[in-house]
A and B are shown apart, each in its own frame.
Chain A
């Protein structure tokens, strides 16, 4: 028996191939465009930081880097720039680093302790304490900024590191994250610890903390960026130039954005201001994405 000839729907096949190709091309085009949109402002800032102020002031910034990088960064690093500001970027970077690390470490520390207390103990007022912390989730610092500022003034903490950092370290999100994680630690661990004769602090140090390390790392990345990028609070609390953070200092440098600013120094400072958090994200990408998507649930 002769087999019937094979039916091939060439028109449909071609249409299918075309559709797949189009979908792929669209995806690549869109993503490349997206990457360009994301990268372009940063690229121009990098370019701007390598030309002299005359070139920029005349509005002649080319698309490619120039030759003044070393002196621009040296000026920004050592002397500072802008019309009236002269805080050197090195000092501001140090201040930002200190602020970011203190906020991140502080938040993590007090959150772990309070989450541990809420999860592993029963005591009067436990739920009240939990809800008191939980409620703070609702109000970002910006909303209550003026009254909080007054509290700092009343406590005489203006222009101090304590005044800058402590109001920012109460964090419901971190506490909730750790609580959530602690609840997944099997009861058998606690029982085993009790049989081994380990007390609660010992259990915290030897079992809970080591188990939480990846959570801590992920959270640290998020909180470091949160701390580094603080703006309104340092703007209010700090008017001592030696404590200026780089994000606030940078925006003060540009004034109202006049063309005769020292744009080359400003751009170099901008690059310095965004480099540390961007590096943290780039180098710790996996932890960062995990930390972000988990803290926000």
Chain B
């Protein structure tokens, strides 16, 4: 049983505040992914949980124990670093055994645990090697192994896959997920890669400028982004944003060029004329002629094989990206904006507006 909770964690470096009161509860066995652009404070947050940085204020609580002022060693955590941070002068065995030796475990127990972990990770044959003699993927496994043998309450991952090539990354991603499920260890995983975040996490924390913009399971983040930042960050290519205003009664939005879209799921609160931002994912934009279709002037076509990404401009100059099944060619693409897939945001605050 291990849980993690962060209570109003703040961090400033000199005058710059990088974390603004983070609240987070991680349940036992859960894998929470912190995702965000570089500089959003996600790594600082992880390092605060690890005890490598001290928060300016707030509490870090692991399994109901306040560890805020304690050394990393006293927190019962293990961490996998971006550059693996293997001890270059120790063998693979030495690297994995180091933390156990320090804790004074008997030799036999250390051997047993290291062997078991090496077995799980498929590095049993490498135990005598030095880190320098290993490939990137192997080093990654050793770094994982070092964390596993400790049997900690909490796993911390600091972008552990970003130094691997694309193919290996996909493979290790699946492996980490399987391993975490199998061991059932509560985990915190930091990444800047949205695909990694979506595929790995039980829940995601999308960070923006030192604040969690949304904390939710991956599919909810995708289908109901809490604000324009999350909406634009998750999904590729990015969501289209269309400026509009709220109609009287809140049942429709009027686009800048004049046409109106009826909300399919009910009226939004707010005064008439309130500025809105409408969001539509490229894959939801449907090609087709109709009375209210927009003719896109095509600027760039990116064929991806099974589908095609079309970048174009609507009358009035608005940039729109559409993802169409199959191939496409042509200079003009008439598209429909399906009301059923519309995300509505308040243009002032950026927050999502629900019926």
Instruction: Judge whether A7 and B65 touch: CB under 8 Å.
Output: yes
Is B64 close to A, CB under 8 A?
yes
Instruction: Judge whether A6 and B61 touch: CB under 8 Å.
Output: yes
Q: Which of A162-192 contact B (CB under 8 A)?
A: none
Instruction: Judge whether A16 and B69 touch: CB under 8 Å.
Output: yes
Residues on A with beta carbons closer than 8 Å to the beta carbon of B66: 6-9
Identify the closest chain A residue to B62 (Cβ): A7
Q: Given that A6-B66, A7-B66, A8-B66 are known contacts, is A16 also in contact with B61, CB under 8 Å in the complex?
A: no
Complex Cα distance A28/B69, Å? 22
Instruction: Judge whether A16 and B64 touch: CB under 8 Å.
Output: no
Q: Which of B57-83 contact A (CB under 8 A)?
A: 61, 64-66, 69-71, 74
Q: Which of A103-153 contact B (CB under 8 A)?
A: none
Chain B min CB distance to A75 (Å) = 51
Chain B min CB distance to A2 (Å) = 12
Instruction: Judge whether A4 and B64 touch: CB under 8 Å.
Output: yes
Identify the closest chain A residue to B71 (Cβ): A16
Residues on B with beta carbons closer than 8 Å to the beta carbon of A8: 65-66
Instruction: Judge whether A9 and B65 touch: CB under 8 Å.
Output: yes
Residues on B with beta carbons closer than 8 Å to the beta carbon of A17: 69
Instruction: Judge whether A6 and B70 touch: CB under 8 Å.
Output: no
Residues on B with beta carbons closer than 8 Å to the beta carbon of A7: 64-66
Is A1 close to B, CB under 8 A?
no
Is A195 close to B, CB under 8 A?
no
Is A13 close to B, CB under 8 A?
yes
Of A4, A6, A12, which is within 8 A of B74 by CB? A12
Q: Which of B66-121 contact A (CB under 8 A)?
A: 66, 69-71, 74
Instruction: Judge whether A13 and B64 touch: CB under 8 Å.
Output: no
Complex Cα distance A32/B64, Å? 43
Chain A min CB distance to B23 (Å) = 15
Residues on A with beta carbons closer than 8 Å to the beta carbon of B61: 6
Residues on A with beta carbons closer than 8 Å to the beta carbon of B70: 9, 12-13, 16
Identify the closest chain A residue to B74 (Cβ): A12
Complex Cα distance A13/B54, Å? 13
Instruction: Judge whether A6 and B65 touch: CB under 8 Å.
Output: yes
Residues on A with beta carbons closer than 8 Å to the beta carbon of B64: 4, 6-7
Chain B min CB distance to A13 (Å) = 5
Identify the closest chain A residue to B70 (Cβ): A16
A14-44 vs B, CB cutoff 8 Å, 1 = contact: the mask equals 0011000000000000000000000000000
Residues on B with beta carbons closer than 8 Å to the beta carbon of A12: 70, 74
Identify the closest chain A residue to B7 (Cβ): A6
Identify the closest chain B residue to A6 (Cβ): B66
Residues on B with beta carbons closer than 8 Å to the beta carbon of A6: 61, 64-66
Chain A min CB distance to B60 (Å) = 11
Complex Cα distance A9/B71, Å? 12
Complex Cα distance A196/B302, Å? 40
Identify the closest chain A residue to B51 (Cβ): A16
Identify the closest chain A residue to B68 (Cβ): A13
Residues on A with beta carbons closer than 8 Å to the beta carbon of B74: 12, 16
Complex Cα distance A244/B49, Å? 66
Chain B min CB distance to A251 (Å) = 45
Complex Cα distance A12/B69, Å? 9
Complex Cα distance A17/B74, Å? 13
Complex Cα distance A8/B67, Å? 8
Identify the closest chain A residue to B67 (Cβ): A9
Complex Cα distance A194/B71, Å? 61
Chain A min CB distance to B100 (Å) = 21
Instruction: Judge whether A13 and B69 touch: CB under 8 Å.
Output: yes
Chain A min CB distance to B1 (Å) = 12
Complex Cα distance A9/B66, Å? 8
Chain B min CB distance to A15 (Å) = 9
Identify the closest chain B residue to A20 (Cβ): B71
For B69, B71, B74, the residue with the greatest tally of chain A CB atoms inside 10 Å of its CB is B69
Identify the closest chain A residue to B61 (Cβ): A6
B114-153 vs A, CB cutoff 8 Å, 1 = contact: the mask equals 0000000000000000000000000000000000000000
Residues on B with beta carbons closer than 8 Å to the beta carbon of A13: 69-70
Chain B min CB distance to A5 (Å) = 8
B268-308 vs A, CB cutoff 8 Å, 1 = contact: the mask equals 00000000000000000000000000000000000000000
Chain A min CB distance to B300 (Å) = 32
9 contacts between A and B (CB under 8 A): A4-B64, A6-B61, A6-B64, A6-B65, A6-B66, A7-B64, A8-B65, A16-B69, A16-B70
Besides A7-B64, A13-B70, A16-B71, 13 new A-B residue pairs in contact (Cβ under 8 A), listed by A number: A6-B64, A6-B66, A7-B65, A7-B66, A8-B65, A9-B65, A9-B66, A12-B70, A12-B74, A13-B69, A16-B69, A16-B70, A16-B74
Sort A-B residue pairs by CB-CB distance and give the 4 closest, nearest first: A7-B65, A8-B66, A13-B69, A6-B66
Residues of B within 8 A of A (CB): 61, 64-66, 69-71, 74
